Amino acid sequence: MNVIIHVADSSHLQYAQPICDLIYVSAQARGTGIAKRSPEYIEDKMKTGKAVIALDDDVLVGFSYIETWGHKKFVANSGLIVHPDYRGMGFARKIKHRIFELSRKLYPNAKIFSITTGLAVMKMNTELGFKPVTFSELTDDKEFWKGCQGCSNYDILQRNDFKMCLCTGLLHDPKDQNPPPPVAKTFAKKIVKPIVKKKKPRRFKK
């Protein structure tokens, strides 16, 4: 096994259809969650360097991509998927960390968010500093919520006026992250011993 996670580019376009098939099969198996995407959409993410792909030599292992919303003020890490043959080996976590790093590099000031029904994804997001939030704190870009139309739970989202669904909203705001503690400076103190004058012993008269 020789699995490498790449920033996807035009050389990976042949994997667009298999990725879409994998997303669809996973969504059907889980019955919730992953919005359907077209091969053309996945290809565009690859061409613009907004996706990561994990390959075992030339075998598809996993994938995830970046979406921007609200004039690039919000970034979503979406479509995290791992092939069934490679699940349970920690690749989902590695892909999640890699797409997060790419998001921070491309959009350092953007808020990164995720909506998911998966406990494993929630745990991975928490490790990266994400916090659970209501949908009102996520992007209000209507195009984002249109992307949920391929989800089997879209009718629930509609009935709740796009304010609540089975998914949990998670947000990483770079402004809220605690900066690393400052490096403590140590100074060597010169220890000065006080000079104590020895008293001469008194002489007694005989």
Q: Select from 107, 2, 96 the least CA-distant residue to 49.
A: 107
Residue 164 has pLDDT above 70, yes or no: yes
**Stated pTM of the model:** 0.73
Residue 153: the pLDDT is: 78
Per-residue burial over 142-175, b if 16 or more Cβ lie within 10 Å, else e, is eebbebbeebbebeebeeeebeebebbbbbbeee
124-127 contact pairs (CB < 8 A, 24+): 124/92, 124/93, 124/96, 124/97, 125/96, 125/170, 125/172, 126/170
> Is residue 206 pLDDT above 80, yes or no?
no
Residues contacting 179, CB < 8 A, separation 6+: none
Domains in the chain, CATH or no CATH each: 3-172 (3.40.630.30)
Q: Which pLDDT value is given to residue 178?
A: 56
In this structure, the chain runs to a length of 206
Distances (CA, A) of 111 to 18, 33, 98, 130, 172: 30, 21, 17, 10, 6
Residue with the two structure tokens 């949990």 = 168
Q: What is the mean pLDDT of residues 126-130?
A: 89
Q: If phi over 0 gives left and psi between -120 and 50 gives alpha, with beta otherwise, what is residue 162?
A: left
For residue 202, the model assigns a pLDDT of 59
Tens digit of pLDDT for each residue in 43-98?
999 999 999 999 999 999 999 999 988 888 899 888 889 999 999 999 999 999 99
- The answer to whether the CB of 5 falls within 8 A of the CB of 98 is yes
Give the per-residue pLDDT at 107: 95
- The chain-wide mean pLDDT, for the chain, equals 82
Pairing of strands 74-82, 111-116: parallel
Q: What are phi and psi of 95, to 5 degrees?
A: -65, -40
pLDDT at 84: 92
Torsion of CA 151, 156, 159, 160, to 10 degrees: -100
- Say which range, 25-39, 76-90, 128-142, 159-173, has the weakest mean pLDDT: 25-39
* pLDDT exceeds cutoff 50 at 191: no
**DSSP assigned state of 32:** S
pLDDT tens digit sequence for 15-48: 999 999 998 887 776 655 556 789 999 999 999 9
Contact call for residues 116 and 122 (beta carbons, < 8 A): yes
The single-letter code of the amino acid at 178 is: N
Grouping H, G, I as helix, E, B as strand and the rest as coil, residue 85 is helix
